[in-house]
Amino acid sequence: MIQEATKPQVFSDTEGHAEKNYLNAGHTLASWLLTKDHKRIAVMYLISVSIFFLVGSIAAMMIRLELTSPRGTLMSSETYNKTFTAHGVVMIFLFLIVAIPGVFGNFLIPLMIGARDLAFPRLNLASLYAFWIGGIMATIALLSGGVDTGWTFYTPMSSMYSNGNVTLTLVGAFIIGFSSIFTGVNFIATIHKMRAPGMTWWRMPLYVWSHYSTSVIILLGTPVVAITLLLVVVERVLHIGIFSPELGGDPVLFQHMFWFYSHPAVYIMILPAMGVISEVMSCFSRNKVFGYQMVAMSSMGIAALGFVVWGHHMFIASQSMYQGIVFSLLSFLVAIPSAIKVFNWTLTMYKGSVWLASPMVYALGFIGLFTLGGLTGLYLACVGTDVHLTATYFVVAHFHYVMVGGTLLAFLAALHFWWPKMFGRMYPEAIAKWNAVVVFIGFNVTFLPQFVVGYMGMPRRYHFYYFAPEFQIYHVMSTLGSSVLAFGLIMPAFYLTKSLISGPKAPANPWGAKGLEWEACTSPPDKHNFHGIPVVVGDVYDYNAEEEELRLKGLAPQMVTKDDKVKFI
Ligand code: HEM
Ligand SMILES: [Cu+2]
């Protein structure tokens, strides 16, 4: 991608490192809290989701510790229920759904399409505040007295029997729903209206495409779940019968309405992650993304199909056999666009020149783990096998492979890839790369045994298994693995924070990547993103072999160290 208007001005002196940038464009607290700059909002999202991730992880470690003994000796059943609910609610609503869109969507979409900001900067700030308000409400509810329904809030447990904190959590989730919707509307309007001259739809980076499809899901799905959760509140507070049989309601109706959103929501969590992987794969393979249009359209295909498969969560919930068969077949279809992506990323590496930098190591981990997560989904989508596997640890392993192996690894890939751009500093690359390996190993030791123990019959949401002490070895392995994983997840907090203080200054394009955010912006970007309006004249991902030759000979961009400045071609 080449742009005419900006290049000469931007790269005038310091190879694109900017001393004056969006980070130091104002120093007061108000200049952050009232900012309309998409980049500052992204940084505030980064801090927020990191804190929520820490809270969710502490709950996870408590769950893992409890499960090392078959008798569940550390906490009562009720406390255990509250612990896994806290873990689920925080991880799903306060981390996974928000993390990549809130941080990287906000930061990158305007930069990638050559815009000055998002279409509605104030709405963007409102979205952050809605997230904060909802998040704080939910956290208070989960910590003070807790909620024991699980993140799925199944009725009539949630509407009749569980304690009063359910209401506060649901209202919190409702408000977070608005945050999601604001972001979705903003991204769609921005992508339609704010693309720079020459940035046609087929020249948009796949990361932007992935957010486009995600935003469509958000707009169609989130209102449904928001109303559903509100109806539970109405039933609890006003005793109007909607979902509870005691009041004349239908509890299965809740499951339909909940999963109508929550299955598509898994694509809200994974599509932006897939977008990240497309960018990282192509940059570190020095190759075009294989089948660019197919990858873009498979995102749209996933978004559409995602809405017609929710019944696979309800094979054992009094669904008719015919309904089960239809939902099963439709669920199998989702595997097709997912597989297209995996094939195309793999082919992107073929005949490319693969550079195993830390973002790429995370991305490779993503491909392996997401594939396992997706394939095990097929076992669950098959009615016959699901009857045996549903509500066991097999399901727990399946969704952790897609959500941790997939979304979290992509989040880490994105964090390492765009960190120099966001903060203008380099981190210790060797440590980061080996840390990615530690995360990969820790993850597998944690979750692979769960497939086995789930297949053997370990139910999810139980804190004891004295009826089957042979499960213990798998649980102990899992807990051991989770400590390795925890180490691997804490490390980046240290070395990335340290890089802010003492890391070498990053040039505009330390990876030699393509795209407006690298080629037309300083690191960190200027408050106004671009000096002038970028004009896009070439296709996206125009990596070429010639340039790669130079890199191999040491003449093209390398990692910078303190005294060795990066060289540009
Ligand atoms: C290849 C595509 C996929 C298929 C065919 C698939 C299939 C399934 C099925 C059938 C279930 C229900 C299992 C049961 O309750 O017995 C399930 C559960 C789940 N899946 Fe997937 N899945 C896929 C991808 C994903 C992705 C991409 C994510 C998240 C990013 C995800 C997250 C989840 C979650 C969170 C649950 C558990 C929900 C709960 O708490 O009950 N899945 N999946
Ligand atoms: Cu589903």
Confidence of residue 226 (pLDDT cuts 50, 70, 90): very high
158-172: b (≥16 Cβ within 10 Å) or e = bbbebeebbbbbbbb
What pLDDT, in 10s, does the model give residues 426-441? 999 999 999 999 999 9
What SS3 class is residue 523? strand
pLDDT at res. 531: 85
Question: Is it the case that residue 125 has pLDDT exceeding 80?
Answer: yes
Distance CA(46)–CA(105), nearest Å, equals 11
The sign of the dihedral angle between the CA atoms of 418, 419, 422, 425 is: negative
- Is the C-beta atom of 214 inside 6 A of ligand 1? no
Q: What is the mean pLDDT of residues 7-11?
A: 36
Cis ω before 469 (30° cut-off from 0): no
Distance CA(295)–CA(328), nearest Å, equals 24
Mean pLDDT of the residues in the chain:
91
- Is the C-beta atom of 374 inside 6 A of ligand 1? yes
- Is the C-beta atom of 328 inside 6 A of ligand 1? no
- Which ligand is nearest to the Cα of residue 380, counting in written order? 1
- Expressed in angstroms and rounded, the spacing between residue 385 Cα and the centre of ligand 1 is 14
The sign of the dihedral angle between the CA atoms of 425, 428, 434, 439 is: negative
How many H helices and E strands in the chain?
20, 0
Q: Is 8 exposed, middle or buried (0-12, 13-18, 19+ CB in 10 A)?
A: exposed
Distance CA(61)–CA(51), nearest Å, equals 16
What pLDDT, in 10s, does the model give residues 146-191? 999 999 999 999 998 888 799 999 999 999 999 999 999 999 999 9
- Expressed in angstroms and rounded, the spacing between residue 88 Cα and the centre of ligand 1 is 14
pLDDT at res. 12: 35
**pLDDT over 70 percentage in the chain:** 93
Q: Is 402 exposed, middle or buried (0-12, 13-18, 19+ CB in 10 A)?
A: buried
Cβ atoms within 10 A of the Cβ of 471, count?
A: 21
Q: Are 370 and 342 in contact (CB under 8 A)?
A: yes
- Top-confidence residue, 351 or 168: 168
- Is the C-beta atom of 341 inside 6 A of ligand 1? no
What SS3 class is residue 371? helix
Question: Is it the case that residue 564 has pLDDT exceeding 50?
Answer: no
Confidence of residue 547 (pLDDT cuts 50, 70, 90): low
What pLDDT, in 10s, does the model give residues 310-331? 999 999 998 889 999 999 999 9
Name every residue whose Cβ is closer than 8 Å to that of residue 17 and which is 6 or more positions away in sequence.
424, 505, 506, 507, 508, 522, 523
Q: Is 114 exposed, middle or buried (0-12, 13-18, 19+ CB in 10 A)?
A: buried
Q: What is the mean pLDDT of residues 39-60?
A: 97
Q: What is the mean pLDDT of residues 281-290?
A: 93
- CA-nearest residue for atom 6, ligand 1, is 377
Question: Is it the case that residue 546 has pLDDT exceeding 70?
Answer: no
- Within 427-546, strands assigned E span none
pLDDT at res. 563: 33
